[in-house]
Amino acid sequence: MTTPNTNIHLDLPCPASDLAELIPPLLQIRASILESESRLKAVNSIHPVYQKSARNLVQYLALRRFDLRSLQVQLTDWGLSSLARPERKVQASLDNLLFVMNTLAGKKWTPAGKPLLCFDEGRQLLEEHTAALLGQQPPGHRTRIMVTMPTEAAKDYQLVHDLMEGGMNCARINCAHDGPFVWEGIIANIRKAEATTGHTCKILMDLAGPKLRTGPLPDGPPALKVRPGRNDLGEVLKSSQIWLYPEGTQPAPPAGADAILPVPGGWFAQCKKGDHITLRDARGSNRRMRISGVYPLGCWAAAKKTIYFTPGLKLELKRKGEKLKNAVARLAGEMPRRPGSILLHTGDPLILTRSAQPGHAAWFDENDNFHPATIGCSIPDVLDDVKEGEPIWFDDGKIGGIIEGKEPGQVLVRITHAGAPGTHLRAEKGINLPDSDLRLTALTDEDFEALEFAVGNADMVGLSFANRPSDVEALIRLMRGLQNDKPHNLPGIVLKIETNRGFEHLPAMVLTAMQTPLVGVMIARGDLAIECGFGRLAELQEEILWICEAAHLPVIWATQVLEGMAKQGLPTRAEVTDAAMGQRAECIMLNKGPHIVDATKALGNILDRMQDHQTKKRSLLRKLALAEKFFGEAV
């Protein structure tokens, strides 16, 4: 009901749109939102802690069915912009906006019934759900820090202790690696560190999921590449140091050997300091080494050029430029075999097969018939699901192609993306089929074994490659079945969004997971970037953050955060910016690396600094020292 209010007179400093024209479309949007929410059928199966959150999520999805851009611009002219931040309390944002607009227009507007959530309630629900899943908010910043545990954390208690002192709030155990014995050791050290430091640490056990990878390839020829140290200009800074020892004896090289190679004993007995060894290496290049020291158990040979050694390579000993009698020998012993690979160029064909037999590179037979490169697939059944024209990516997006044809037992791929000199494809590299409707289940037999351990030991279980609500239902069913003889509560569920299908089904999967009392979402940006394309990744990140905020669910921001610092000890500028952006999530995940303790401390420092500037997508407008300095100097 509206009644005139003649006491209000508006004289805005700047002209703005007519409020009377903006109110009707907002009322229509409000009616549509409430009608959509009333049709939520799953509400009875949702856990009591998520009842309001589920309804708010549906309201938000209904709101985002409208294109609000023009309306937003007109509202901003009036200094009204609550629709820019409605995630946590959709109906309250709309109702307050309509109340203010009607008041400004000289009308009285009283909606029937109170909004589902008022402003503090949405924030409080998000905080409560986050604390329940990820632990209490750490001092200094609202965003938790999760660290992927390396294998050595099972035995190195000090590493776990230092990580927790450095700011780790959650530990991730990747179930694709190690096994129960190592997992038990990691968990024991975490619990011990909790008692020692007084900090708490939640444990996420991340199920591996179906790993779609390239099949086996035969190893390359036995060879050993030895190269000298060079600077950025290619100039030799340090000769390579090669230790030659008599075959049949125990090699005992001093520290610093770049290679350890056996030679015939009689030939070795002739070697003297200052002699030279000439050879033609495996690539047909003429090379020379100088003997810099001879000892009872071996001798040092120095080389200033890269050498490729293979078994049986001929060595010729020279002294003062002259050949010695019986001074020709061949390398003895075995050489390591390099992993096999297929060199692919843009435009090349590649056969992807169901066979478990090793693949091969392209070749011509004796009749000059061409045979394209072939490689297997770790989950052969996916070849039944792909269609012509669909894209395919290998090895974290390094190689891309298009499905060009299907035949019984194999698929023809045309390579469309590879490095200029070609890119090597090796065994056990990831395969992504972003546009294919794969009938893969998210849980494998190996996952079930890991889940048995996780239900009894972890605080959270990560569902990798979650694509459909049925995947979530299967996980809940298995966890409840395993819980029958366990006295504790069900672990939390973390939905890992790493495919296009997972993103498209995110709202439905969230509502399914809300049957349980602890739910979170991980943005697994590695596979997601390959699936959706790097150009679209930033857009999907934002949408996932919005959806989860509307559902009052915590988000874990994952993949390559401060990767350079964790591995090399020095972050890039882009990594620091990325870490700062990640504070809009409730948790940021770091991967393992030699410098992971330093990376954890650095991330905590970044989060401390960003805490006062922004929460979610809202700028807090903290007082700027820069502004104070400017006016101080101006005065």
Q: Does residue 217 lie within any of the structural domains?
A: no
Query: By residue range, what is the domain housing residue 305?
Result: 224-330
Helix (H, G, I), strand (E, B) or coil at 287: strand
Residue 469's domain is classified under what CATH number? 3.20.20.60
Report pLDDT for 251. 74
Query: Do 365 and 316 reside in the same domain of the chain?
Result: no
Residue 267's domain is classified under what CATH number? 2.40.33
Token couple for 307? 């050498």
Helix (H, G, I), strand (E, B) or coil at 250: coil
Torsion-angle region of 347 (φ positive above 0: left; ψ -120 to 50: alpha; else: beta): left
Nearest residue to 503 via CA among 544, 472, 551, 548 = 544
Give the DSSP letter of residue 258. Answer: S
> What φ, ψ does residue 487 adopt, rounded to 5°?
-85, -10
Query: Do 80 and 36 reside in the same domain of the chain?
Result: yes
Q: How many domains does the chain have?
A: 4
Query: Do 520 and 579 reside in the same domain of the chain?
Result: yes
Share of the chain above pLDDT 90, in %: 57
Q: Is 200 exposed, middle or buried (0-12, 13-18, 19+ CB in 10 A)?
A: middle
Q: Is 30 exposed, middle or buried (0-12, 13-18, 19+ CB in 10 A)?
A: buried
Report pLDDT for 180. 94
Token couple for 241? 């140091």
Question: Is the pLDDT assigned to residue 9 strictly greater than 60?
Answer: no
Among 269, 301, 330, the domain boundary falls at 330
CA 394 vs CA 238, 342, 378, 501: distances in Å: 37, 12, 13, 18
Do residues 251 and 268 touch, judged by C-beta distance below 8 A? no
Query: Do 448 and 571 reside in the same domain of the chain?
Result: yes
Q: Does residue 180 lie within any of the structural domains?
A: yes
Give the H/E segment covering residue 203.
strand 202-206
Do residues 491 and 479 touch, judged by C-beta distance below 8 A? yes
Q: What is the pTM of this model?
A: 0.82
Query: Do 476 and 513 reside in the same domain of the chain?
Result: yes
Query: Do 446 and 542 reside in the same domain of the chain?
Result: yes
CA atoms within 13 A on the CB side of 547: 22
What's the whole-number mean pLDDT along residues 468-478?
A: 94
Query: Do 282 and 322 reside in the same domain of the chain?
Result: yes
Q: Does residue 143 lie within any of the structural domains?
A: yes
Do residues 292 and 302 touch, judged by C-beta distance below 8 A? yes
Task: Please state, in angstroms and rounded to a whole number, the distance separating the CA atoms of residues 417 and 530.
Answer: 13
Confidence of residue 127 (pLDDT cuts 50, 70, 90): very high
Do residues 227 and 194 touch, judged by C-beta distance below 8 A? no
Query: Do 451 and 584 reside in the same domain of the chain?
Result: yes
Q: Does residue 202 lie within any of the structural domains?
A: yes
Do residues 549 and 88 touch, judged by C-beta distance below 8 A? yes
Report pLDDT for 13. 73
Question: Is the pLDDT assigned to residue 385 strictly greater than 90?
Answer: yes
Among 306, 330, 354, the domain boundary falls at 330
pLDDT digit string, tens, across residues 343-372: 999 999 999 999 889 999 998 988 888 999
Token couple for 212? 């779609």
Helix (H, G, I), strand (E, B) or coil at 401: strand
Report pLDDT for 428. 92
Report pLDDT for 461. 97
Question: Is the pLDDT assigned to residue 450 strictly greater than 90?
Answer: yes
Nearest residue to 273 via CA among 305, 244, 248 = 244
Query: Do 589 and 479 reside in the same domain of the chain?
Result: yes
Q: Does residue 219 lie within any of the structural domains?
A: no
Question: Is the pLDDT assigned to residue 79 strictly greater than 90?
Answer: no
Confidence of residue 7 (pLDDT cuts 50, 70, 90): very low
Task: Please provide the average confidence, as pLDDT, over all residues in the chain.
Answer: 88
Question: What does the buried/exposed string (b/e) look like for 312-322 if buried means 16 or more CB atoms within 10 Å of the residue's CB?
Answer: ebebbbeeeee
Do residues 197 and 161 touch, judged by C-beta distance below 8 A? yes
Helix (H, G, I), strand (E, B) or coil at 245: strand
Q: Is 501 exposed, middle or buried (0-12, 13-18, 19+ CB in 10 A)?
A: buried
Give the DSSP letter of residue 198. Answer: S
Question: Is the pLDDT assigned to residue 4 strictly greater than 70?
Answer: no
Report pLDDT for 30. 92
Q: Does residue 335 lie within any of the structural domains?
A: no
Query: Do 383 and 519 reside in the same domain of the chain?
Result: no
E strand map for 458-606: 460-463, 492-497, 519-524, 555-558, 587-590
- Between 384 and 612, the higher pLDDT residue: 384
Query: Do 474 and 602 reside in the same domain of the chain?
Result: yes
Question: Is the pLDDT assigned to residue 64 strictly greater than 70?
Answer: yes
CA 42 vs CA 32, 455, 508: distances in Å: 19, 26, 10
Q: Tell me the H-state helices in 3-89.
A: 19-38, 51-63, 69-77
Among 330, 361, 396, the domain boundary falls at 330
* Three-point CA angle 91, 92, 96, nearest 5°: 120
What's the whole-number mean pLDDT along residues 541-554?
A: 93
Confidence of residue 571 (pLDDT cuts 50, 70, 90): confident
Strands 298-303 and 229-230: unpaired
Query: Do 195 and 252 reside in the same domain of the chain?
Result: no
Q: Does residue 625 lie within any of the structural domains?
A: no
Query: Whose structure tokens read 């000289």?
Result: 106
> What φ, ψ does residue 450 adopt, rounded to 5°?
-65, -35
Question: Is the pLDDT assigned to residue 252 strictly greater than 80?
Answer: no
Q: Does residue 10 lie within any of the structural domains?
A: no
Report pLDDT for 569. 85
Residue 416's domain is classified under what CATH number? 2.40.33.10
